[in-house]
Chain A
Amino acid sequence: MSDARTDRDGLASPQRRHVLGRGLALVGGAVVGNAAAEKAAAESAAAPPDVPEWMKAPGADVGSEPYGSPSRFERDLIRNIPKSLPQYTSASSRTPLQDLDGIITPNGLFYERHHGGIPEIDPDRHRLMIHGLVERPLILTMAEIRRFPSESQIYFLECSGNPGFEAMTGRTASDLVGLVSCAEWTGVRLRTVLEEAGLKPEARWVVAEGADAAAMTRSIPLAKCLDDAMLVYSQNGERLRPQQGYPLRVLLPGFEGNMSVKWLRRLNVTAEPAHSREETSKYTDLMPDGTARQFTFMMEAKSIITRPSGTQRIARGFNEITGIAWSGRGRIAQVEVSVDDGQSWTVAQLQAPVLTRALTRFRLPWTWEGAPTTILSRATDETGYVQPHFAELTAVRGVKSFYHNNAIIPWRITASGEVTNGFLKA
C-alpha cells in the first residue's frame, strides 16, 4: 500500500475502479484492504521475482486492430453521459477531464451537445451553400472545400452552460465543467470562403445552418467571420467525427460552443442577425431584473483543478496539483492555486505551449500534511481579466442566467484525503 502505484491508484475515480483490482479496491471512495483482492493481486503479480505472462508469448499481430482503440484496462474511460434524461436527441455528454492529461481531448471523448441528434451524412452528397449579401452565391462540394488553402489550429470548445448557476452539485470535475474540450482543427479560414463569394458592402452577419434535424441556426458577427473563424473538416488529424459535425463545421475560437454550427450546409450573409430561437429564447442570459442578455458569445477565462478533484483520494506527502485553464479572449497569462481556501495564492507553472483560445495545462507541486483544506485555482488571461468567485458572479447576475458561469471551483479535502465538491455542504 505504500508503493508508487498505490498512491497513483488512490487518485483514480470510481469510474475506473475496475483497474484497481491489482492491489486495493475503492468502494464508495474508501480504501478497503480486502482478502479476496489481496489474493487476486498475488495471483496476477507482475513484480519481481515473477516474469509477467505477457512476456512469455508473442502479442497480437500487427494490424489486428485496423483502427486502434485504448487498452481494455481503460475501458471505463468514457464520456460522462447523464442518466435518465427524458430524451437524448437534444442533450449533452461530458469529457472525463479528471482522467485526461495534457491539453488535447481524444476525439472519442470530446464533449457532445446535439439539438436534433447526430446525422449520418454522406460527404459526397453534402453541399455547402453560400448566399444572401454576396456577389456570387456559391455551392461547394466537400472536395472543393478541401482545395482551399488550409490551416491547423489548436482551440478549445466550450458549451455556454458549463455548468448552470443552479447546477453546481456535480461530484467530479467532469460533472462540473466537462462541457469543455480542446483539439487541433484543420480547415479553411471562413474569410477565404466568404471572399470567394464576395461580400456586399451591407453585409454584417453570417447566419450558419446545420444539416441536422434541428437545422441548428446561429448568427455570427461579420468581424468574427473575417478574423479567426474557420470551416473545419478535420480534428486531431483525422476527419471530424459524426458527433463533431462530419463532414464540415464552423469553428469560432473562444465563442460559446453552439455557435460553431456542426454539419454545416448553409451560410446566409445578412445585414441583421436572424434572431433565431437559439439566440432569443435559448442561449440568452436572464438577469434578476427580468431582462436577458442577448448575443453573449464570449467564453470568459476559467480554470479547474483536475487532479486532485472530486471523488479522488490523496495520500499524505507529495501530490502534484494539475488542471486546465482557458479564455475565449486569448492566451492564459497566469494561473494561481490556493491550498488554504483562498487565504493565499501561489503562481502555478504553465505547460508549453500556451496558445490563444486553447486549453492550457498548469501544475503546482504540493506536499499535503494531512490537514483538511480546500484547494482552488483561478486563471488570468492576457487582457487582465481574472476568473471570479461564484459569489462575485451571482452578485451581478443572480442565479437564473444559466449560461457563462466561469466561477472558481473549490475542491474540499478531508482528513482522510477524500476530495469532494466544495460547493456542497461538508
Chain B
Amino acid sequence: MASSRPRARSAEVDSASAREGAPGRRPGFAVGHGSRWVLAAAALAALAAAAQAGPRYGLGRPATQAEIAAWDIDIDRDGRKLPPGSGSVAQGRTLFAAQCAGCHGAKGEGGSGERLVGGQGSLASGKPLKTVGSFWPYAPTLFDYIRRAMPLNAPQSLTSEEVYAVSAYVLNLNGLVPDDTVLDAAALAAVRMPNRDGFRPDPRPDVPLRARPE
C-alpha cells in the first residue's frame, strides 16, 4: 500500500537532475523558489491526498480544540489569528522602559539585544541597518515574536494587551504609527511596513559556473 503512493516530487526532480549531471543546471531541490511552488501545487495536492489514508499505527490521542487553542500561538502575516485585546503607545512606552530597554536601549537603539529602530532607506546602502522599521515586512509578526520569545528572561509572560502595547510603542519609535495609537487585531494588521515588498524567492544556484578562474 505504501509502495503505491507517489514519491515526493522534489526527490524525483532531484534525482533527475543528478542523473543528467549537467553542470550549472538548476538542481530541483532549490525549494525556496516561489514559482516552483506554484508549479508543484498539483503534485503536492496529490501527495497530501495520499497522506489522508486512515491511521496506520493508532498511536497518540486526539487533540481537543481547547488543547490546540491553549498551545497554538502562531500569528500569520495577515494577522487573522491575532487575539482580542488592545494596547496603546503610551502603555507600551512604560512597559518598554521596564521590560525591554535593558537590552534594546531606552529608544530601541540596541544594546545586548538587537537594535529595533531606524535604518529606513539604508538597505541598499553600504551600511544597511536591519530593524523592525527598516526590514520587517509584516506588523503582525511583531505580536507573534514578542509574545512567544520576549522578554528574553521571561517569554510568554506578557498579556495580549501588553503585547499590543509594546508592539505599538516599537512601531511608534519607528515613526510608523502616531503617538495616540491604540492597536488591536484590526489596527495592527492594517499597519503597512515599509519593507513589505522587499523579499524575493531564493534564486540559487546563482553563481555562474564557468566564469571561474582555474
Contacts and interface: CB of A to CB of B under 8 A. Distances in A.
A393 B48 contact: no
A298 B49 CA distance: 27
Lowest 10 A-B CB distances belong to which pairs? A290-B124, A86-B112, A290-B123, A227-B8, A384-B23, A295-B32, A215-B148, A277-B145, A137-B63, A383-B27
Interface stretch (B88-96, B180-188, B202-210): B202-210
B51 A148 contact: no
Nearest to A404: B204
Given A115-B149, A196-B57, A286-B128, A383 B199 contact: no
A330 B18 contact: yes
A274 interface: yes
Contacts of A266: 71-72
Interface in B1-30: 8-11, 14, 17-18, 21-25, 27, 29-30
Interface stretch (A16-24, A167-175, A217-225): A217-225
Contact of B200 (A135, A144, A292, A383): A292
B169 interface: no
What range describes how many residues of B lie at the interface?
A: 35 or more
Interface stretch (A105-113, A198-206, A307-315): A198-206
Interface of B: 8-11, 14, 17-18, 21-25, 27, 29-32, 37, 40-41, 44-45, 47-49, 51-57, 59-63, 67-68, 71-77, 103, 111-112, 123-125, 128, 130, 132, 135-138, 141, 144-145, 148-149, 152, 155-156, 198-209, 211-214
B55 A221 contact: no
A119 B200 CA distance: 34
Given A276-B141, A297-B32, A400-B128, A290 B62 contact: no
A138 B111 CA distance: 42
9 contacts: A87-B103, A87-B152, A148-B57, A213-B149, A223-B40, A272-B76, A292-B135, A292-B198, A293-B200
B91 to A, nearest CB: 22
Contacts, number: 253
A395 to B, nearest CB: 8
B207 A396 contact: yes
A329 B25 contact: no
Given A200-B52, A383-B17, 16 more contacts: A129-B63, A198-B52, A207-B74, A213-B152, A214-B155, A215-B155, A274-B77, A277-B136, A277-B144, A280-B199, A281-B132, A289-B124, A290-B124, A291-B200, A392-B208, A395-B207
A116 B200 CA distance: 28
A368 interface: no
B198 A291 contact: yes
B48 to A, nearest CB: 4
Contact of A139 (B14, B67, B137, B144): B67
B204 A296 contact: yes
A418 interface: no
Contacts of B208: 392
B124 A288 contact: yes
A111 to B, nearest CB: 22
A296 to B, nearest CB: 5
Contact of B60 (A139, A194, A404): A139
B149 A214 contact: yes
Nearest to B137: A280
A274 B74 contact: yes
A221 B31 contact: yes
A286 to B, nearest CB: 6
A329 B200 CA distance: 21
B44 A222 contact: yes
Nearest to A288: B124
Interface string A272-306: 10111100110010111111111111101000000
A275 B137 contact: yes
Given A86-B112, A266-B72, A290-B124, A275 B206 contact: no
A388 interface: yes
A119 to B, nearest CB: 11
